[in-house]
Every structure is written in C-alpha cells, then in structure tokens.
C-alpha cells in the first residue's frame, strides 16, 4: 500500500476517529492513538508493540516534502489499549471493538445519533 486511505471517520469520546486501510486490514495512525489515550510519547508507546502489529508509510505532505508515519494494525491498537493503565483506554477499547465489528458486518457504520435519520430515509 503506497498511501493511506480513510475507510471510516467519526467522532468517538469527543475525539476524531479515523480508520485507514481496508475492511479486512484496518489501520490506525499511532499518533492518533497516542492522542486518544493521553500518551505523551508515541515512540515509547510503540516500543511495546510487536513489529508485525505496526507498519510504516511514507506520505507526501505539503510541497515535495515526505513524512514517515507509523500505523497500528487491529492487533496493534488492541495491544496499546490493553497495556495502558489509563481509564480512558478502557473506554476506547470498547468503542473500537464496536466500530470494527460493525464495519466488518456491514462495510460501514452509522453514528448512533443518525440511526433514526437513516431509518426515515429507508
């Protein structure tokens, strides 16, 4: 994969939540995950994750600059959330599981506050 494509986006626990990659192999930017759980050092957080649970991408930024980003696999995000002792990590773990299950079952998700609107349209 040469670029990261957003396959899902919504607000979760007051934070922007983006899923990249594919339905079969979702990816999460390590920096985003660190921000969600209040981890101040992304590099230290990644030291606890196995190599097969993270991957690195080179992305184009403004102009001709390129930037290296690290993405966590589904197992990688679970590992980070399970290792964190912060209460917010437990809340995130529950939300991530719900969202990924719904994406797998339906190919997408509907935000809870928009479900009634969807039913009216159907």
Residue 50 dihedral angles phi and psi, to the nearest 5° = -60, 150
Whether the per-residue pLDDT at 113 is higher than 90: the answer is: no
Say what the pLDDT of residue 119 is.
47
Q: Closest Cα partner for 33 from 88, 77, 94, 82?
A: 77
Residue 116 — pLDDT band, cuts 50, 70, 90? low
Give yes or no for a contact between 3 and 57, defined as CB atoms under 8 angstroms apart.
Answer: yes
Residue 9 dihedral angles phi and psi, to the nearest 5° = -150, 135
Say what the pLDDT of residue 94 is.
86
Tens of pLDDT, residues 4-39 = 888 889 888 888 889 999 988 999 999 999 999 999
Token representation of residue 43:
């590099």
Q: Closest Cα partner for 54 from 25, 83, 82?
A: 25
Residue 104 dihedral angles phi and psi, to the nearest 5° = -65, -40
Please give the model's pTM, rounded to 2 decimal places: 0.73
Token representation of residue 32:
């985003």
Residue 84 dihedral angles phi and psi, to the nearest 5° = -75, 140
């Amino acid at each position: 994969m040469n670029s990261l494509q957003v396959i899902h986006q919504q607000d979760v626990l007051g934070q922007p939540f983006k899923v990249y990659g594919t339905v079969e192999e979702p990816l999460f930017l390590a920096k985003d995950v660190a921000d969600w759980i209040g981890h101040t050092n992304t590099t230290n957080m990644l030291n606890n994750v196995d190599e097969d649970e993270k991957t690195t991408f080179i992305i184009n930024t403004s102009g001709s600059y390129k930037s290296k980003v690290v993405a966590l696999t589904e197992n990688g995000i679970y590992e980070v959330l399970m290792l964190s002792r912060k209460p917010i990590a437990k809340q995130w773990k529950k939300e991530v599981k719900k969202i990924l299950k719904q994406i797998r079952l339906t190919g997408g998700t509907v935000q809870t506050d928009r479900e009634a609107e969807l039913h009216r349209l159907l």
